[in-house]
Each structure stands twice: as C-alpha cells, then as structure tokens.
Homo-oligomer: A and B are copies of this chain.
Amino acid sequence: QRAAPEAAAQADKENGDAAGLAAKRSRTGGLGENRCRTVEEIYQKKSQLEHILLRPDSYVGSTERQTEERFVFDEQAKRMTRKKVEFVPALYKIFDEILVNAADNLVRCPSQDTIRVEVNKAKGYITVWNNGSGLPVQIHKEHKCYVPELVFGQLLTSDNYDDSERKVTGGRNGYGAKLTNIFSLKFIVETADSRSGKWYKQVWEKNMTSRNDPQLKAKTMEDFTQVTFYPDFARFGMTAMEDDIVALMRRRAYDVAASTHGRCKVYLDGRLLEVHSFEDYVSLHLPTDSFRVCQVVNDRWEVAVGLSDGSGFQQVSFVNSINTSRGGGHVNYVADQVVNAIMDKLSKQRGGGLAVKQAHVKGYLWVFVNCLIENPAFDSQ
C-alpha cells in the first residue's frame, strides 16, 4: 500500500459542509485500493480543461444546489422582494462572467449605450449583447489566431494582466468567459469591429472541446459584441433552466442597469428596464415613501441610505458591477461614516451619558453602494 502525499488545497477552508455526506456513506471506504494499481493508474495528470470540468469548485464555485435568501424582482409587485431561492452557484457564476463582461465594456467604451440580456428558459440559452466597441477582428501575431478566439476560447488569456495600469473593470484573471464556454454545450461569439470593418462569428461546442473555424465578413456596421451560450445543465445536476436561477439572472440585469450610472439602457427579454439611475434601483428595494437619502458622490461613487427592515444592518452593493452580496470594506467605509455622523448628532442633542452604541445605530440602516474601484481585491473568505 503506497500513495503519494498529494497536498490538500482546501487546507484551512472556512466552511466544510460535509457531515451530510458522511452520514450517507458507509464507514469503510475505498482506502487501500491503490494496492493493485500501477503508478500510471494512480498518478494522473490532467489538461487544464479536463481539470476544470473535474474539479469545478475552485473555478466557478459549487455545482451543488443551495438554498439562500436573495433579492429577486417580483413581476406583480414591480419591486425587489427577498425570497428563498434554490440555485447552483456555478451556473449563476458562468452567467455573471458574461454579464459583467458587458458592463465592463461600458466602462471602457463611452459610446456604448445599450445592453440586451435574454434568458430563454424554454430553449435553455442565454444571450448578452452590447454595442460597445467590438473585439479587434485581427490576427494576434504571437498566438496565431483571431483576437476573439484568444479571448473566448483559450485559457489564461487576458487584456488585464498589467497591474501598473489602474482599471475599474471586473475581469483580470485569465479564466473569465472561458469558464462559461467550458460549462456550455454550445457557445457562440459574434462581434462587429468597425475599425477593421469586419464581422466575426465563432462557435464552440461540447464544453469548448470542439472548436469551429470562425466566419468572417467584410461589412460596414455598428460595433457590437454578442455572446450566446447553452449551459451544460447536466454538470449542474439539472435537466433544464429552473425558475429560481432564471429569477436570479433576471435580477442581475436590474443590477447592471443600476450600476451603469444612467449611461446605458438595459433590455431584458426585449423589454427596457425602467431603472435609469441608482436611485431608481434603490427605490425598488425600500418601501414606497419611506425615508432615504441618495447621493451621487462623484463619478465613481453613488450611495444611498434608508432604514433596515428591522432585522439588523442590511446592504446592497456593487464594486465594478460585481455584486458584493456580503459587503466588505467599501460598504463599511460608507456605513461607518453615516453611523458616526448620527452618533455625533445624538451625542450633541442628548449630552453626556449616551447609552446608544454604534452597533445599535448601524442595525437600523440599509446602505446601498455602487462604486468603481481600481484593481480591487476580492476575498471570498
């Protein structure tokens, strides 16, 4: 019996959710089964694409269903409501990669004014379209392929590796849209590049393992980029698109509309979303006519403060269009200033011996933050 001490990359993980598994399985596992196998059978090396499909967790998050309370848009009430939703985080993530792409492009390209999102439940595909500058339709001399192929079809490629540049876009990690491609049965990119006067389309199939040659046309048209993908539902333990994940994806379209500083129209399934400012978005959350203060602080920060629903401090926040659902430094940065100002005022009104603590004040607040931050550090722990 011999086996290599292959290391545990999950060391010191913050949250091991494993007891259920243990209960389901017998106590005498497959230990010692290495005995009869050759070293070639025991020690294996994967390609990176194989590895991503085999161990998705560290790339796209869990492929297991989970239930969480999240805000979703209630079509009847025309408001955001907090609801228990059951969804697979990995599927949500591969959608978000593409959506945040489109929002990023808005930051880079001032002329972009429209994003269109279609979540087609019946046919099981998602399309995200934007009319910012298209991708350069030209051959990358070093890698000998068109730039769109490099960007969407080859791992570890990025236009965002230079940390000496300060960027307020979300992507910088070299996986991004490729992960969506890898977890899709079909992935279609279409872009028009007015500079080169070319239209480009390319299709990948079977988890990016089957690449089709691109189609090109010389064509004078407005710039755009469109991504359509058919998620490989089986990899998420699903057979088709489900209502809860559709609701979450739809809410993300509202998020993007909210975070574009009113610069961009967002269409969802062909319908223009009536969210033209961060304040519009905040209003979808707070009770009608309830107290709130909204402020566009500068071209990178918008904040709003309202009253929490009584269950303690609440926050809804975005950094570079990325939804930071558990807050972070950017939220505390705002909340602490508001709390301190209220404490000061209370203290002056009531004199010494004030029994109110910061935590008490904070518990009544609902803070909304939409900001652009250069090269932000995200920490999922």
Which residues does A use to contact B, with CB under 8 Å? 1-23, 25, 27, 29-34, 39-40, 42-48, 51, 54-55, 57-59, 61-62, 64, 89, 92-93, 96-102, 104-105, 107-110, 130, 132-136, 138, 140-143, 147-148, 150-151, 154, 156-161, 164-180, 193, 195, 225, 298-301, 317, 319-334, 371, 373-381
Contacts and interface: CB of A to CB of B under 8 A. Distances in A.
Question: Most chain-B CB neighbours within 10 Å: which of A99, A101, A167, A381?
Answer: A381
A173 B5 contact: no
> In the assembly, how many copies of this chain are there?
2
A101 B6 CA distance: 6
Contacts of A64: 377
Contact of A12 (B47, B173, B322): B322
B159 A54 contact: no
B138 A13 contact: no
Contacts of A93: 11-12
Contacts of A11: 93, 96-97, 99-100, 170, 322-323
A47 B2 contact: no
B104 A16 contact: no
A128 to B, nearest CB: 9
Contacts of A141: 40
A168 to B, nearest CB: 6
A299 B7 contact: no
Say what secondary structure dominates the interface of chain A: loop
Nearest to A163: B54
A376 B23 CA distance: 11
Question: Most chain-B CB neighbours within 10 Å: which of A159, A170, A299?
Answer: A159
A373 B23 CA distance: 9
Contact of A7 (B92, B176, B323): B176
A52 B335 CA distance: 35
B319 A159 contact: no
A4 B328 contact: no
A119 to B, nearest CB: 16
Question: Most chain-B CB neighbours within 10 Å: which of A46, A148, A331, A379?
Answer: A379
Nearest to A150: B43
A307 to B, nearest CB: 23
Contact of A147 (B17, B43, B55, B323): B43
Nearest to A248: B12
Given A12-B325, A19-B371, A29-B166, 6 more contacts: A2-B195, A6-B151, A7-B97, A19-B329, A44-B157, A46-B161
Contacts of A16: 317, 319, 322, 324, 327-330, 373, 376-379
A332 B15 CA distance: 11
